[in-house]
């Protein structure tokens, strides 16, 4: 993030200086601290699978809306050249003539979907296999997926690879939809200011990636019931200047109690803007510091919405901001894991999740590296796009 020395006008405008008390140096130090880049680490719970399952078993925090993901199958779709297939439709049926569909999803840029039988609404404990159909561009493949408990423990696999006879063309430009889902309550002022100040740099770096993406930016901001709004949606735009203008209207206010209206916000992120779907890499960056209200009588359910995102091929990267508690960490990791995203967490100097940017966190994570948040966001976008670039994908 580029930084500049603050002028006296900047300090006066910020109300940060009191000449009568002679504390200009304190004001300068405070403004300098506020312009430090946010730092963050990341955790891919689908890669660190055993650690994630242990973390889930040990959770003793406030209630959450759980989905049993302990039984997991990775279904991977590739073409005859071994390249991941983006946007293939994967449908899962109970065996038999009735063809009862129990799950469907669209492959991500990795060519993958995750299938969790125990997370289904249908009771499937007695089902020993499923019929899976994979289709893209009128090319269809079918196979029988046998479950773990129906096989010898030494022979099962959690990865099933399907090859489609497709004539995929190397695209000159990939479609990319990026939506920022931002908690705009009072405690989020610092994070919002940092995003506002770096969005041009981040977008320019994304535009310059080797895949030269055809990128659009959208946004949903949210607060809580009782504030002057609950959610606000900003349609996707290919013009980063338009997006920045929308972003610059966002300011932190309200919130009141600790939880916020994340359930409704995630629903609006999926339904109130026009995602392109199809052969588009679709990403949500959730930036928030509080869990959702789970006590509203009439509300959406984040667990249902994360399943909808997975079905539509929308990947969610959860960014835990200062002060996020154990319940919020669990839910943010849950949403990211289910949609094959990453759990990202801001890091700080002290022993708490707050204060000046640093190298530490109190979240339940190990073996992470720290980098500037804007660098991390660009890298994650680059990794997603690279899966559709054969030469770069081999380097991942």
Q: Which of 9-23, 25-39, 274-288, 303-317 has the lowest mean pLDDT?
A: 9-23
| 232 and 154 co-located in one domain | no
| 340 and 316 co-located in one domain | yes
Average pLDDT over every residue of 267-271: 98
| 160 and 179 co-located in one domain | no
Q: Is residue 34 part of a domain?
A: no
CA distances from 10 to 19, 30, 55, 138 (A): 14, 12, 45, 60
Tell me the CATH number at 123: 2.60.40.10
Burial 53-92 (b: 16+ CB within 10 A, else e): eebbeebeeeebeebebeebbbbbbbbeeebbbbbbbbbb
Given a cut of 80, is residue 230 above it in pLDDT? Answer: yes
Side-by-side strand order, sheet with 371-372: 231-237, 214-222, 175-183, 280-288, 314-320, 343-346, 39-43, 371-372
- pLDDT, one tens digit per residue, over 282-308 is 999 999 999 999 999 899 999 999 999
| 127 and 54 co-located in one domain | no
114, β-bridge pairs: 74
| 331 and 229 co-located in one domain | yes
| 121 and 3 co-located in one domain | no
Which of 192, 190, 198 is closest to 219 using CA atoms?
192
Q: Is residue 57 part of a domain?
A: yes
Q: What mean pLDDT is reported for the chain?
A: 87
SS3 27: helix
Side-by-side strand order, sheet with 129-136: 101-106, 89-93, 129-136, 139-146
CA distances from 126 to 117, 123, 147 (A): 11, 8, 10
Given a cut of 50, is residue 10 above it in pLDDT? Answer: no
Given a cut of 80, is residue 23 above it in pLDDT? Answer: no
Instruction: Count the Cβ atoms, other than its own, within 10 Å of residue 154.
Output: 5
The CB-based long-range contact list for 98-103 (8 Å cut-off, 24+ gap) reads 99/131, 102/130
| 253 and 324 co-located in one domain | yes
Which of 133, 144, 79 is closest to 103 using CA atoms?
133
Percent of the chain with pLDDT over 70: 86
Backbone phi, psi, residue 384, to 5°: -60, -45
Given a cut of 60, is residue 22 above it in pLDDT? Answer: no
Q: Which of 2-6, 307-311, 369-373 has the lowest mean pLDDT?
A: 2-6
Average pLDDT over every residue of 97-112: 94
CA distances from 364 to 43, 248, 329, 333 (A): 10, 33, 8, 11
Confidence band (pLDDT; 50, 70, 90) for 20?
very low
Instruction: Count the Cβ atoms, other than its own, within 10 Å of residue 251.
Output: 13
Whether the CB-CB separation of 145 and 130 falls below 8 Å is answered with: yes
Given a cut of 80, is residue 167 above it in pLDDT? Answer: no
| 176 and 160 co-located in one domain | no
Q: Is residue 68 part of a domain?
A: no
- pLDDT, one tens digit per residue, over 45-77 is 999 999 999 999 999 999 999 999 999 999 999
Q: Which of 64-73, 122-131, 168-177, 205-214 has the lowest mean pLDDT?
A: 168-177
| 258 and 124 co-located in one domain | no
Average pLDDT over every residue of 25-44: 64
Give the per-residue pLDDT at 12: 37
Give the per-residue pLDDT at 247: 93
- pLDDT, one tens digit per residue, over 136-145 is 999 999 999 9
Residue ranges with strand state E in 73-164: 73-79, 89-93, 101-106, 112-115, 129-136, 139-146, 159-164
Average pLDDT over every residue of 377-388: 95
Whether the CB-CB separation of 359 and 39 falls below 8 Å is answered with: yes
How many folded domains does the chain comprise? Answer: 3
Confidence band (pLDDT; 50, 70, 90) for 35?
low
Phi-psi region of 65 (alpha: psi -120 to 50; beta: other; left: phi over 0): beta
Give the per-residue pLDDT at 82: 92
- pLDDT, one tens digit per residue, over 340-370 is 999 999 999 988 888 899 999 999 999 999 9
* Model confidence, pTM: 0.88
Given a cut of 50, is residue 156 above it in pLDDT? Answer: no
| 321 and 370 co-located in one domain | yes
Stated as kind and residue range, the H or E segment containing 314 is: strand 314-320
Average pLDDT over every residue of 171-195: 91
Structural Rg of the chain based on CA atoms: 22
SS3 182: strand
Instruction: Count the Cβ atoms, other than its own, within 10 Å of residue 228.
Output: 7
Q: Could you tell me the residue range of the domain that residue 232 belongs to?
A: 39-63+172-393
Q: Is residue 47 part of a domain?
A: yes
Which of 164, 188, 209 represents a domain boundary (last residue)?
164
| 213 and 124 co-located in one domain | no
| 261 and 181 co-located in one domain | yes
């Amino acid at each position: 993030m580029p930084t500049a020395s603050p002028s006296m006008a900047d300090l006066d405008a910020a109300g940060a200086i009191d000449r009568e008390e002679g504390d200009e140096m304190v004001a300068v130090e405070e403004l300098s601290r506020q312009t430090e880049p946010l730092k963050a680490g990341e955790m891919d719970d689908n890669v660190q699978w055993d650690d994630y399952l242990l973390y889930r078993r040990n959770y003793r925090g406030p209630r959450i809306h759980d989905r049993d993901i302990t039984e997991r199958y990775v279904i991977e779709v590739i073409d005859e050249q071994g390249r991941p297939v983006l946007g293939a439709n994967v449908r899962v049926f109970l065996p038999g003539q009735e063809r009862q569909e129990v799950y469907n999803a669209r492959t991500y840029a990795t060519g993958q979907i995750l299938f969790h039988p125990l997370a289904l609404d249908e009771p499937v404990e007695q089902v020993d296999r499923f019929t899976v159909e994979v289709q893209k561009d009128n090319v269809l493949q079918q196979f029988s997926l046998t479950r773990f408990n129906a096989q010898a423990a030494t022979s099962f696999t959690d990865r099933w690879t399907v090859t489609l006879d497709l004539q995929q063309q190397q695209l000159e430009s990939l479609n990319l939809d990026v939506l920022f889902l931002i908690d705009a309550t009072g405690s989020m002022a610092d994070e919002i200011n940092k995003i506002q100040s770096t969005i041009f740099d981040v977008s320019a770096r994304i535009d310059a990636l080797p895949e030269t993406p055809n990128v659009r930016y959208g946004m949903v901001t949210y607060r809580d019931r009782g504030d002057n709004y609950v959610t606000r949606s900003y349609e996707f735009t290919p013009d980063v200047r338009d997006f920045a203008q929308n972003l610059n209207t966002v300011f932190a206010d309200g919130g009141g109690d600790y939880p916020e209206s994340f359930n409704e916000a995630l629903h609006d992120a999926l339904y109130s803007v026009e995602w392109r779907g199809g052969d588009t890499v679709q990403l949500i960056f959730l930036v928030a510091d509080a869990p959702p209200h789970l006590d509203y009588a009439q509300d959406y359910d984040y667990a249902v919405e994360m399943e909808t995102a997975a079905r539509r091929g929308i990947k969610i990267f959860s960014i835990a901001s200062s002060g996020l508690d154990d319940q919020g960490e669990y839910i943010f990791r849950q949403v990211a894991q289910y949609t094959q995203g990453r759990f990202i967490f801001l890091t700080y100097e002290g022993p708490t999740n707050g204060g000046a940017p640093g190298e530490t966190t109190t979240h339940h994570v190990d073996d992470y590296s720290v980098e500037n948040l804007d660098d991390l966001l660009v890298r994650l976008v680059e990794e997603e796009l690279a899966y559709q670039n054969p030469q770069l994908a081999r380097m991942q």
